[in-house]
Amino acid sequence: MEKQELLYEGKAKKVYATQDPHLLIVSYKDDATAFNGLKKGTIQGKGAINNQMSNLLMARLEKEGIPTHLVEELNSRETLVKKVSIVPLEVIVRNIAAGSFSKRYGVEEGMVFDAPTLEFSYKNDSLGDPLLNDDHALALGLASREELTLIRTYALAVNRLLQETWRVCGITLVDFKVEFGRLEDGTIVLADEISPDTCRLWDASTQEKLDKDRFRRDLGGVEEAYIQVMERLTRGL
Ligand code: ADP
Ligand code: UDP
């Protein structure tokens, strides 16, 4: 399968058409952005790491019964995926308070929740991805009630499986964002990516941050953290 026209260039990936109208090629970039595009930079090697890590994790989820968009890794930074119509929701699952949750509700980073919390943001850059609840998503026609129920079930199952995967690697899964999409027949599948760009990953013994927060907060050692997480994952799998 070969790349045809560029359909979309996002902040972290390019999306290309293929000869098959049901398939796309995503190409992962080293570009990094934060704070809704206000902070820009490059994380050397990130594209290849995120591509391969996302594929390893999605393949594992697929094996455990979560349908995903993954078809085939084509090379270090490109993957063939099923084309979906993205449900415009950022589905965020949290196990430990951090980031916008800590800021919004005034709690310290690191507060461990009794049970995972799930929240939706409206995937809309010009509005700054505002937080919304199920009723808001229904009112805006972003998804049906049945789809929201399924998305919630899948997201919590993804959390349990990813927590276990990272635990074996000595990493705590603090929180993450996933996106879902609809295939032509309406089937909901997990899409986009799962990587240190979209997950908060802390070393289980030192609590050291091993994810994009190193870039967001200018902590240094960004490239090294991505490499370390990838190495730990491939050893743990
Ligand atoms: P952003 O749009 O936030 O800048 P990216 O740079 O990661 O993000 O761009 C990738 C885009 O492709 C995202 O908008 C994502 O929702 C979309 N996408 C991910 N997987 C699929 C898929 N299987 N089919 C169609 N679109 C997808
Ligand atoms: N996240 C993401 N894309 C976004 C917003 C959040 O991948 O546009 C991820 C982020 O990496 C973290 C989780 O979702 O793992 C929760 O992010 P949060 O709401 O705390 O926002 P942030 O602090 O990143 O602004």
Kindly give the distance from the C-alpha atom of residue 206 to the centroid of ligand 1, in angstroms, as a whole number: 33
Domain identity same for 64 and 175: no
Domain identity same for 105 and 21: no
pLDDT at 1: 86
Does the pTM surpass 0.85? The reply is: yes
For ligand 1, what atom is nearest to the CA of residue 189? 23
- Among 194, 110, 197, which residue's Cα sits nearest to residue 159? 194
For ligand 1, what atom is nearest to the CA of residue 29? 6
Domain identity same for 65 and 98: no
Test site for ligand 1: of 6, 9, 11, 13, most ligand atoms within 8 A of the Cβ? 13
Q: State which of 82, 108, 134 marks the end of a domain.
A: 82
pLDDT at 91: 98
Residue 192 near residue 179, CB atoms below 8 Å: yes
Domain identity same for 178 and 114: yes
Encoding tokens for residue 94? Answer: 């949290």
CATH of the domain at 127: 3.30.470.20
Q: How many domains does the chain have?
A: 2
Kindly give the distance from the C-alpha atom of residue 177 to the centroid of ligand 2, in angstroms, as a whole number: 6
Beta strands in the chain (DSSP E): 6-9, 13-17, 23-28, 31-34, 39-42, 70-75, 78-82, 85-86, 89-96, 112-122, 131-132, 171-182, 188-191, 199-203
| Residue at 39 is within a domain | yes
Domain identity same for 218 and 172: yes
pLDDT at 32: 98
Letter string b/e over residues 98-111, b meaning 16 or more CB atoms within 10 A of that residue's CB: beebbeeeeeebee
Letter string b/e over residues 62-81, b meaning 16 or more CB atoms within 10 A of that residue's CB: eeeebebbbbebbeebbbbb
Question: 């499986």: which residue's tokens?
Answer: 161
pLDDT at 237: 78
Residue 22 near residue 71, CB atoms below 8 Å: no
Kindly give the distance from the C-alpha atom of residue 89 to the centroid of ligand 1, in angstroms, as a whole number: 12
* Cα end-to-end distance, the chain, whole Å: 28
Beta bridge partners of 32: 41
Ligand 2 binding pocket (C-beta < 6 A) is: 90, 92, 98-101, 129, 175-177, 198-200, 212
Ligand 1 binding pocket (C-beta < 6 A) is: 8, 10-13, 15, 24, 69, 81-84, 86, 179, 181, 191-192
Compute how many other C-beta atoms are within 10 angstroms of the C-beta atom of residue 57.
Answer: 24
| Residue at 19 is within a domain | yes
Give me the tens of pLDDT residue by residue for the chain, a chain 237 residues long: 899 999 999 999 999 999 999 999 999 999 999 998 999 999 999 999 999 999 999 999 999 999 999 999 999 999 999 999 999 999 999 999 999 999 999 999 999 999 999 999 999 999 999 999 999 999 999 999 999 999 999 999 999 999 999 999 999 999 999 999 999 999 999 999 999 999 999 999 999 999 999 999 999 999 999 999 999 999 997
Domain identity same for 105 and 211: yes
CATH of the domain at 55: 3.30.200.20
Kindly give the distance from the C-alpha atom of residue 159 to the centroid of ligand 2, in angstroms, as a whole number: 15
pLDDT at 173: 98
Per-state percent for the chain, helix, strand, coil, to nearest 5: 30, 35, 35
Give residue 128's domain range: 85-228
Q: State which of 32, 60, 82 marks the end of a domain.
A: 82
| Residue at 106 is within a domain | yes
Q: State which of 82, 106, 130 marks the end of a domain.
A: 82
Beta bridge partners of 231: none
Kindly give the distance from the C-alpha atom of residue 157 to the centroid of ligand 1, in angstroms, as a whole number: 22
Test site for ligand 1: of 121, 192, 193, most ligand atoms within 8 A of the Cβ? 192
Domain identity same for 24 and 134: no
- Name the 3-class secondary structure at 212: coil
- Name the 3-class secondary structure at 178: strand
Kindly give the distance from the C-alpha atom of residue 198 to the centroid of ligand 1, in angstroms, as a whole number: 13
| Residue at 130 is within a domain | yes
Domain identity same for 43 and 110: no
| Residue at 188 is within a domain | yes
pLDDT at 184: 98
Residue 34 near residue 219, CB atoms below 8 Å: no
Domain identity same for 202 and 161: yes
Domain identity same for 89 and 181: yes
| Residue at 113 is within a domain | yes
Domain identity same for 112 and 217: yes
